[in-house]
């Protein structure tokens, strides 16, 4: 049962009289009173989409269907290309054009509250999916915003208070792709040569049902499943021809970090990061991709034999954990990966004679320096810490509507932000591995995400750069592109420059290890 938006006011009048509530399955007076948002008729939308979150049964493994949560979508207005379905359990891919005005009718048909977040998009507070805007079953929240991001690969997912991890795990995620004129001029591979790959790890019961954990130790580390899904399926064989492709890769996992590499040792060519295309292509031996990060690859199969295969893997790596105190070694170790995991196999099934050439310049990007910052003496801290077996940011766990003085950001400013491990600041020598949970905290990587505008990474410093463990990951970071999520490894201190333009209000920053987020490793910036 959904309530058509135009009828909403009328509906509220009826329910106020107590006439209709009993006749509507799944809708009670209490739920209707608790929230939602109606459309603003003065907002002239170019594209309108209905997205419903609901329980569904889908085929993932051979045999029994799997019970999941799924976004199902319907295009109500706009170009047919605005919505493309993926066959698995993920939501439809939303394809938007920069400058478009978008209205999304979100209906919650789940047996629990839910809210949607447009990860990577620059939108006002009420459109950003802050958990304070969660709606109950039977309610509707209408999101309306103008797409003003650069062309790139973003995504949407549930962001419900203390339920983000379980809801995303059960399927509440999808891709959101932005295109623009500057990107079209590059004539990158498109259509069937532009392939999205959403990588997630899951575990299944004997009866093919999703299995989630949670002992305390697993929770502290975040969920790691034993089965890799690509686009919601396990049989990830992708037929390709002998030419160049664009791969849009999203790590949609709760906590697992991938070290992407080709099985035959071919280096990877990156053309995009989280929020946009790179200024120019970059070649790396492997790429570290943490939860919520995106990377776009240029893969050229020209010259490969028809009938041959190339497999994208997650290569073995170790988490730098040499500072850890006694007893915590196992935890640090478990966050790494001991053998190669296959992710997707590309089967070269056909020959074509021509292929686009990789442009040597992509989308220009001016590198920001201290001169571009509003107050270059001021550094906004994001201190990663731990107390009482829970992760914190700036010494606090999540508070729904509160912020600290240091979390206040003046509107329309550019800020230096330093992300570091509390107790492990640069220049303080060895980190305090001995103190209680400190060792375990220091041993963990944290993908830190900041809502709102994309930022630039200015520096990445490692206090233990010489360790052999760090050697297994250090060549896999792309710090030269637009980012909204940055992987902060143990012992690392990262400085970024981020704009806070256009919109006032509360905007989240948090660890995108979703178990960490749900344990409270999240805070608000107040922009105003």
Partner in contact with 122, chosen from Cu ion, ligand C2O, none, beta carbon below 5 to 8 Å by kind: none
Please report whether residue 511 would count as binding Cu ion according to CB under 5 A: yes
Long-range (24+ apart) CB contacts under 8 A made by 265-268 are: 266/310, 268/297
Site string for ligand C2O, 404-443 (x = CB under 6 A): ----------------------------------------
Burial string for 186-212 (b: 16+ CB within 10 Å, else e) reads: eebbeeebebbbbbbbbebeeeeebee
Round to whole Å and give the CA distance between 54 and 409.
37
Binders in 436-465 for ligand C2O, by CB under 6 A: 449, 451
Burial string for 319-349 (b: 16+ CB within 10 Å, else e) reads: bbbbbbbeebeebbeebbbeeebebbbbbbe
Please report whether residue 94 would count as binding ligand C2O according to CB under 6 A: no
Candidates 239-247, 373-381, 461-469, 507-515: pick the segment binding Cu ion (CB under 5 A). 507-515
- Determine the size of the site formed for ligand C2O (CB under 6 A): 10
Q: Provide DSSP, 355-421.
A: -PPPPS--S--PPP-GGGSS-TT-EEEEEEEEETTEEEETTB---TT---GGGEE-TTEEEEEEEEE
Residue 244 Cβ, how far from Cu ion at the closest point, in Å? Answer: 31
Please report whether residue 489 would count as binding Cu ion according to CB under 5 A: no
Partner in contact with 511, chosen from ligand C2O, Cu ion, none, beta carbon below 5 to 8 Å by kind: Cu ion
Round to whole Å and give the CA distance between 324 and 318.
14
CA 192 to centroid of chain Cα atoms: 24
Q: Give the residue, chosen from 508, 511, 519, 527, that forms a contact with ligand C2O under the rule CB under 6 A.
A: 508
102 vs 195 by CB, closer to Cu ion: 102
153 vs 236 by CB, closer to ligand C2O: 153
Please report whether residue 292 would count as binding ligand C2O according to CB under 6 A: yes
8 vs 396 by CB, closer to ligand C2O: 396
Binders in 119-138 for Cu ion, by CB under 5 A: 119
Q: Provide DSSP, 116-173.
A: EEEET----GGGTT-GGG-B-TT-EEEEEEE--SPSEEEEEEE--TTTHHHHHHTT-E
Q: Are strands 446-450 and 505-511 parallel, antiparallel or unpaired?
A: antiparallel
Q: Which of 302, 298, 83 is nearest to 189 (CA)?
A: 298
Q: Are strands 258-262 and 227-230 parallel, antiparallel or unpaired?
A: unpaired
CA angle, 454 then 455 then 457, to 5°: 145
Residue 157 Cβ, how far from ligand C2O at the closest point, in Å? Answer: 6
119 vs 241 by CB, closer to ligand C2O: 119
Candidates 24-32, 177-185, 335-343, 505-513: pick the segment binding ligand C2O (CB under 6 A). 505-513
For 335, the token pair is: 């966050």
Round to whole Å and give the CA distance between 496 and 368.
9
Candidates 41-49, 64-72, 347-355, 506-514: pick the segment binding ligand C2O (CB under 6 A). 506-514
Give burial (CB, 10 Å; 0-12/13-18/19+) of 431: buried
Round to whole Å and give the CA distance between 225 and 297.
25
Residue 261 Cβ, how far from ligand C2O at the closest point, in Å? Answer: 25
Please report whether residue 246 would count as binding ligand C2O according to CB under 6 A: no
Candidates 71-79, 117-125, 338-346, 393-401: pick the segment binding Cu ion (CB under 5 A). 117-125
Please report whether residue 117 would count as binding ligand C2O according to CB under 6 A: yes
476 vs 490 by CB, closer to Cu ion: 490
Partner in contact with 66, chosen from Cu ion, ligand C2O, none, beta carbon below 5 to 8 Å by kind: none
Please report whether residue 513 would count as binding Cu ion according to CB under 5 A: yes
Please report whether residue 159 would count as binding ligand C2O according to CB under 6 A: yes
Round to whole Å and give the CA distance between 134 and 142.
12
Please report whether residue 122 would count as binding ligand C2O according to CB under 6 A: no
Please report whether residue 103 would count as binding ligand C2O according to CB under 6 A: no
Please report whether residue 294 would count as binding ligand C2O according to CB under 6 A: no
Q: Give the residue, chosen from 510, 516, 519, 527, that forms a contact with Cu ion under the rule CB under 5 A.
A: 516
Question: Strand order in 194-202's β-sheet?
Answer: 227-230, 194-202, 244-251, 294-300, 268-272, 277-284
Please report whether residue 157 would count as binding ligand C2O according to CB under 6 A: yes
Assess contact for 137 and 112: CB atoms under 8 A: yes
Residue nearest to ligand C2O (CB): 119
Binding site for Cu ion (CB under 5 A): 119, 446, 451, 511, 513, 516
Binding site for ligand C2O (CB under 6 A): 117, 119, 157, 159, 292, 449, 451, 508, 510, 512
């Amino acid at each position: 049962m959904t309530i058509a938006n135009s009828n909403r006011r009328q509906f509220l009048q009826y329910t106020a009289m107590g006439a209709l509530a009993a006749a509507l399955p799944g809708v009670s007076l209490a739920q209707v009173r608790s929230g939602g948002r109606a459309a603003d008729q003065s907002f002239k939308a170019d594209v309108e989409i209905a997205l419903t979150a609901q329980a569904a049964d889908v085929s993932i493994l051979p045999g029994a269907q799997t019970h999941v949560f799924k976004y199902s979508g319907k295009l109500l207005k706009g170009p047919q290309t605005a919505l493309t379905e993926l066959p698995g359990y993920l939501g439809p891919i939303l394809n938007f054009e920069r400058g478009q005005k978008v209205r999304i009718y979100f209906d919650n048909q789940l047996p629990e509250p839910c809210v949607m977040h447009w990860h990577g998009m620059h939108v006002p507070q009420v459109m950003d999916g802050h958990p304070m805007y969660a709606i109950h079953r039977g309610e509707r929240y209408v999101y309306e915003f103008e797409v003003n991001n650069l062309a790139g690969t973003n995504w949407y997912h549930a962001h419900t208070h203390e339920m983000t991890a379980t809801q995303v795990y059960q399927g509440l995620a999808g891709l959101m792709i932005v295109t623009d004129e500057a990107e079209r001029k590059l004539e990158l591979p498109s259509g069937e040569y532009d392939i999205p790959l959403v990588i997630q790890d899951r575990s299944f019961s004997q009866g093919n049902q999703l299995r989630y954990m949670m002992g305390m130790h697993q929770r502290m580390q975040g969920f790691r499943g034993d089965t890799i899904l690509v686009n919601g399926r396990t049989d990830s064989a992708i037929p390709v021809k002998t030419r160049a492709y664009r791969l849009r890769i999203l790590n949609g996992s709760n906590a697992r970090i991938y070290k992407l590499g080709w099985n035959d040792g071919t280096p990877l060519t990156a053309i995009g990061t989280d929020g946009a295309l790179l200024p120019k292509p970059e070649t790396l031996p492997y790429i570290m991709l943490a939860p919520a990060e995106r990377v776009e690859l240029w893969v050229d199969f020209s010259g490969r034999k028809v009938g041959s295969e190339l497999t994208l893997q997650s290569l073995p790596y170790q988490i730098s954990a040499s500072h850890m105190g006694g007893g915590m070694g196992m935890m640090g170790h478990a966050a790494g990966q001991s053998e190669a995991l296959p992710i997707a196999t590309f089967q070269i099934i056909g020959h074509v004679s021509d292929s686009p050439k990789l442009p040597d310049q992509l989308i220009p990007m001016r590198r920001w320096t201290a001169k571009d910052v509003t107050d270059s003496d001021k550094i906004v801290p994001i201190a990663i810490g731990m107390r009482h077996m829970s992760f914190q940011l700036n010494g606090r766990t999540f508070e729904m509507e509160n912020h600290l003085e240091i979390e206040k950001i003046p509107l329309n400013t550019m800020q230096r932000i330093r992300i570091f491990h509390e107790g492990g600041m640069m220049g303080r020598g060895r980190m305090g591995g001995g103190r209680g949970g400190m060792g375990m905290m220091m041993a963990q990587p944290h993908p830190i995400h900041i809502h709102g505008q994309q930022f630039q990474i200015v520096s990445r410093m490692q206090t233990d750069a010489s360790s052999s463990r760090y050697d297994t990951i250090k060549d896999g970071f792309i710090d030269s592109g637009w980012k909204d999520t940055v992987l902060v490894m143990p012992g690392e201190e990262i400085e970024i420059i981020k704009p806070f333009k256009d919109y006032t209000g509360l905007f989240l920053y948090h660890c995108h290890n979703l178990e960490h987020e749900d344990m409270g490793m999240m805070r608000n910036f107040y922009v105003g």
